[in-house]
Amino acid sequence: MRNKIFFVHAATLVAVGLLANIAAADTLTISGFSTPESVVHDTIQDVYFVSNIGPGNPGALDHNGFISRVNPDGTVIQLAWIAGLNGPKGLWLFRDRLYVADVDTLRIFDRFTGTPIAAIPFPNPFGQPLFLNDVVVKDDGTALVTDNVNSAIFQVTPQGQPSLLASGPALGGPNGIQVHGANVSWVTFFSNKVLRTNPSGHVFTEIALPTVDVSQAGLPPGALLLDGYIRLDDGRTLVSSWVTGDVSLINPSGREMTTVAHVPSLFEPSGPAGPADINVDLTRGRVLIPVFNAGQLLIVSLP
């Protein structure tokens, strides 16, 4: 997710029509969230955690963000299970901990009780505020956190020391991020690419998605506003785009793409709905899609 101030005017988007273009046969729509941005399936407790930015500026330090606990059957167990956050976005589960990227701080909670464990403020080497977005944790406990507004990736050691890992236009505005082996990959908010870096620091294009004309929106050529990103164990990739409104499943070669779900796009009269930081429930074969401006969690079948 980016600094979505540009899109907040669409926050009143209603649910009508959201399901009209869903490719999957079986769907579930859970409503009542407040600008949901990310979701993760806790397979131990069999619950979904959903981050809610709350009303207003997604980058504001306004303490109106929260984390919800949701049953896979669609029942909201507790809407504001963890409250008092600012603009919580990316979520990750590692051992007994829930990691939350929250504007300028990485917050860590007990995944079972919601008790705060740590709050790690980040250094800011940029001329504008931080906008921490997604988080992933390596097997050794090192966390990687993206900032798509400042086109940066931070890292946090297992001891809780944050530092800037990389930044610059070549990163394309990193959003959703994944780790596979010794490599790190991410979707770019300001291009059409999934990029990958190896241990030597070289950046490669892993996937290039088809582009559309975004000149009328004032976006950089080719920008798809890619947000969510999941790399499945079988080599397939799931990505979401604010521009197209699609959640796409891409085969391991990167050349075949299937639309798993569609919500109103940037250029549709009712859009953009904002398919944000997607995730999966592999137990049930589901794709979990926070629909940012509709206040919903949309669930569809994973082909």
Residues 227-250: tens digit of each pLDDT: 999 999 999 999 999 999 999 999
Q: Which pLDDT value is given to residue 25?
A: 44
CA 194/CA 191 separation, integer angstroms: 9
Residues 258, 303: contact at Cβ < 8 Å? yes
**What are 266-278's pLDDT values in tens digits?**
999 998 999 999 9
Q: Which pLDDT value is given to residue 1?
A: 46
123 sits in the region (left: phi over 0; alpha: psi -120 to 50; else beta) called beta
Lookup result for tokens 């859009």: 271
Band of pLDDT at residue 11, cut at 50, 70 and 90: very low
The stretch 180-199 carries a mean pLDDT of: 94
DSSP states along 47-106: EEEEEE--SS-TT---S-EEEEEE-TTS-EEEEEEEEEESSEEEEEEETTEEEEEEBTEE
8-state DSSP, 268: S
Q: Which pLDDT value is given to residue 284?
A: 97
Band of pLDDT at residue 12, cut at 50, 70 and 90: very low
Domains in the chain and their CATH numbers? 4-301 (2.120.10.30)
- pTM for the predicted model, two decimal places: 0.91
Averaged pLDDT of the chain = 92
Using the predicted structure, report yes or no on whether residue 42 has a pLDDT greater than 70. Answer: yes
- One-letter amino acid at 54 equals G
The stretch 7-11 carries a mean pLDDT of: 33
Q: Which pLDDT value is given to residue 26?
A: 77
Q: Which pLDDT value is given to residue 255?
A: 87
The stretch 134-154 carries a mean pLDDT of: 97
